[in-house]
Amino acid sequence: MSTAPLRVAVAGASGRMGRMLIEAVQAADDCVLAGALDIPGSPALGHDATAWLGQTSGVVITADLDQGLSGAEVLIDFTRPEGTLAHLAACRRLGVKLVIGTTGFTEAHKAEIAAAAQHTAVVMAPNMSVGVNVVLRLLDMAARALNQGYDIEVIEAHHRHKVDAPSGTALAMGEVVAAALGRDLKDCAVYGREGHTGARDPSTIGFATVRGGDIVGDHTVLFAGIGERIEISHKASSRVGYAQGSLRAARFLRGHASGLFGMTEVLGL
Ligand SMILES: NC(=O)C1=CN([C@@H]2O[C@H](COP(=O)(O)OP(=O)(O)OC[C@H]3O[C@@H](n4cnc5c(N)ncnc54)[C@H](OP(=O)(O)O)[C@@H]3O)[C@@H](O)[C@H]2O)C=CC1
Ligand SMILES: O=C(O)C1=N[C@H](C(=O)O)C[C@H](O)C1
């Protein structure tokens, strides 16, 4: 029995992730590019979505959401929170499912996404790579085992263009560790230090952010004890893992009409 190809639209089509996603959709036997969106005023509007690959897909990048989504089953969105929320409303109206990779959402944004997911299926994750999602499981195990006598710090590094800090992945790592220790990250996170800070409060989880050059994405959780340190790290050397994880999420959505899912469900972790 043959299954029709999954019709995928990509938002932020001229962005770093948008381009990576378009290339991944084009290379996938079971997917077809069905739409490409970008922000009004983008110089990419009106161009073929694969022109930068030297190809012609017949899909033109548009800022018209109805036009960009009309042929799609699922939209993959790596843009900015305000863009994602506008795309979410259009997806809900048009019955299009949504994979959200964008980071930097407020709690109110997240509530809006959860409400919309009651009507159309959504996968949302701050990091789509298999490796990072396995690391999140390892962190749960490590934090439970190292629950006394270890100071916990999350260190992340990204490229100079990144606009949110700490990264969504670093925050997710902090949340996993805090939950494993029976803490709420909102109460124990320390985002940067300066001046006379006093001695470290052992109940805190610290965050340190580095921005520079073309670093794709490095994350380390440090458990610093007396006489030893444990570091659990993930280093991305390419965005390909984020794109392949997003396609797995898009395929997963075929089996779901509504609901909010994460990569734990997609990957069966
Ligand atoms: N979950 C994951 O695995 C990953 C998540 N990310 C997240 O994805 C997001 C995008 O990252 P990246 O591709 O590097 O960013 P880029 O800036 O390279 O791309 C963003 C794209 O979205 C467009 N855009 C910006 N604002 C809006 C808006 N309001 N409405 C519609 N489109 C908009 C941009 O257009 P223009 O350039 O003209 O402004 C651009 O085309 C970030 O939040 C990042 O943290 C990134 C990698 C992995
Ligand atoms: O902006 C990026 O590049 C990335 N953003 C995500 C995040 O904020 O965690 C995922 C990845 O680290 C790359």
Q: What does the pLDDT profile of the chain (269 residues) look like in tens digits?
A: 568 999 999 999 999 999 999 999 999 999 999 999 999 999 999 999 999 999 999 999 999 999 999 999 999 999 999 999 999 999 999 999 999 999 999 999 999 999 999 999 999 999 999 999 999 999 999 999 999 999 999 999 999 999 999 999 999 999 999 999 999 999 999 999 999 999 999 999 999 999 999 999 999 999 999 999 999 999 999 999 999 999 999 999 999 999 999 999 999 99
Binding-site residues: 12-17, 38, 101-103, 125-128, 159, 168-169
Q: Is the CB of 103 under 6 A from ligand 2?
A: yes
d(CA 69, CA 74): 8
Nearest residue (CA) to ligand 1, atom 2: 127
Say if ligand 1 is within 6 A of residue 241 CB. Answer: no
Determine, yes or no, domain membership for 66. yes
Task: Answer yes or no: are the C-beta atoms of 130 and 267 closer than 8 Å.
Answer: yes
Full residue range of the structural domain in which residue 139 is found: 130-236
Q: Is the CB of 97 under 6 A from ligand 2?
A: no
Complex prediction ipTM: 0.99
Q: If you measure from the C-alpha of residue 191 to the centroid of ligand 2, how many angstroms do you get, rounded to a whole number?
A: 17
Indicate the burial class of 211 (C-beta count within 10 angstroms; 0-12, 13-18, 19 or more).
middle
Ligand 1 midpoint to CA 229 (Å):
35
Split into its structural domains, the chain has a count of 2
Please tell me the pTM assigned to this model: 0.98
Residue at which a domain ends, from 88, 120, 152: 120
- In the three-class reduction of DSSP (H, G, I as helix; E, B as strand; rest coil), residue 22 is classed as helix
| Ligand 2 atom closest to residue 159's alpha carbon, by position in its atom list | 3
Looking at residue 1, the DSSP 8-state letter turns out to be: -
Residue 16 sits in the same domain as residue 100: yes
Separation CA 43–CA 47 (nearest Å)? 9
The answer to the question of residue 266 being in a domain is no
- Cα of 125 vs centre of ligand 2, distance in Å, is 10
